[in-house]
C-alpha cells in the first residue's frame, strides 16, 4: 500500500538541466540571428541526447546531468551541488585555400564553448532565473576538448564544459521568469534523436 498520496514531481536537478538548455537555446539563437554569425547558424540545443553526433549534423550543444553531491544535510535544510555536462559539437570541411577541416572544426567548437561559458556566467543568470535563495550560485568547473581524429576532409570536433549549481533543496524552485521577454518561445520538442529545444522568437 502506497504511503505517498501526492504526485511526485520533477527533481530539482531535472528542472535545472532543462533550464540550462532553455537559456542556451534562447541566447545562441539570438546571437546567430541578431549578429548573423555563420558559425552559429542552425545550432541546436539538446537535452540528454544519446544518439551520436556526426559530421552531417549542424553545430550542436547537448546538456546532461552527470553528478550530484549531497554534502550538507540536517533536520531543516539540504544544500546540494549538481553537475551538468554541456557538450559542444561542430564540424568543418577542408577549404580550397588549404585550411584543414580539423583546424576549423576545433576553432568552432572552442567558440561554442566560450559563448556557452559567457552566457552561463552572465550575472543576469546568477540564479538561472529562479528567485533567490533557491539557487545559491553556479560556476564553470572545467573545460576540455577531445583530441581530433584528423582522418578526413569533414572533421567533427567535440568539447565538454562541466557546469556546477549549488542549491537549497528545502526551498521549492519557483516558476522562472521569461528569458528574453514575454514573446520568447523555447519549446522542448521530441525528435527521433532525442529532446531538442526549438526557439522561434528570433527566426
Residue-by-residue pLDDT tens, the chain, 203 positions: 888 888 888 888 999 999 999 999 999 999 999 999 989 989 999 999 988 888 777 899 999 999 998 876 665 678 899 999 999 999 877 665 666 667 788 889 999 999 999 999 999 999 998 887 789 999 999 999 987 555 555 578 899 999 999 998 765 665 666 555 434 455 566 677 777 777 766 65
Q: CB–CB of 91/81 below 8 Å?
A: no
Closest CA to 84 of 16, 181, 131, 5: 16
CA atoms within a 13 Å half-sphere pointing along the CA-CB vector of 53: 23
pLDDT (0 to 100) of residue 174: 57
Q: Which residues lie across from 91 on neighbouring strands?
A: 156
pLDDT (0 to 100) of residue 24: 96
Domain ranges (residues) in the chain: 12-199
Closest CA to 50 of 203, 199, 197, 196: 196
pLDDT (0 to 100) of residue 116: 98
pLDDT (0 to 100) of residue 102: 72
152 vs 129: CA distance, rounded Å: 43
Contacts of 77 (CB under 8 A, 6+ apart): 168, 169, 170
pLDDT (0 to 100) of residue 183: 44
92 vs 110: CA distance, rounded Å: 13
10: left (phi over 0), alpha (psi -120 to 50) or beta: beta
What Cα–Cα distance (Å) separates residue 180 from each residue in 24, 145, 167, 201? 12, 30, 24, 9
29 vs 50: CA distance, rounded Å: 23
pLDDT (0 to 100) of residue 177: 60
Amino acid at each position: 500500500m502506497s504511503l505517498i498520496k501526492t504526485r511526485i514531481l520533477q527533481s530539482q536537478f531535472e528542472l535545472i538541466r532543462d533550464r540550462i538548455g532553455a537559456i542556451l537555446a534562447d541566447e545562441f539563437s539570438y546571437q546567430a540571428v541578431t549578429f548573423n554569425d555563420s558559425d552559429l547558424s542552425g545550432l541546436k540545443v539538446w537535452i540528454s541526447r544519446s544518439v551520436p553526433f556526426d559530421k552531417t549534423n549542424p553545430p550542436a550543444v547537448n546538456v546532461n546531468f552527470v553528478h550530484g553531491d549531497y554534502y550538507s544535510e540536517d533536520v531543516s535544510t539540504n544544500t546540494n551541488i549538481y553537475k551538468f555536462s554541456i557538450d559542444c559539437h561542430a564540424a568543418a570541411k577542408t577549404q580550397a585555400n588549404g585550411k584543414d577541416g580539423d583546424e576549423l572544426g576545433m576553432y568552432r567548437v572552442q567558440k561554442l564553448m566560450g559563448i556557452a561559458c559567457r552566457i552561463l556566467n552572465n550575472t543576469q543568470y546568477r540564479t538561472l532565473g529562479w528567485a533567490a535563495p533557491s539557487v545559491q550560485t553556479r560556476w564553470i568547473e572545467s573545460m576540455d576538448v577531445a583530441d581530433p581524429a584528423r582522418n578526413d576532409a569533414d572533421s567533427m570536433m567535440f568539447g565538454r564544459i562541466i557546469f556546477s549549481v549549488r542549491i537549497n533543496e528545502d526551498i521549492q524552485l519557483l516558476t522562472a521568469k521569461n528569458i528574453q521577454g514575454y514573446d520568447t518561445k523555447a519549446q522542448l520538442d521530441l525528435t527521433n534523436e532525442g529532446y531538442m529545444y526549438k526557439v522561434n522568437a528570433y527566426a
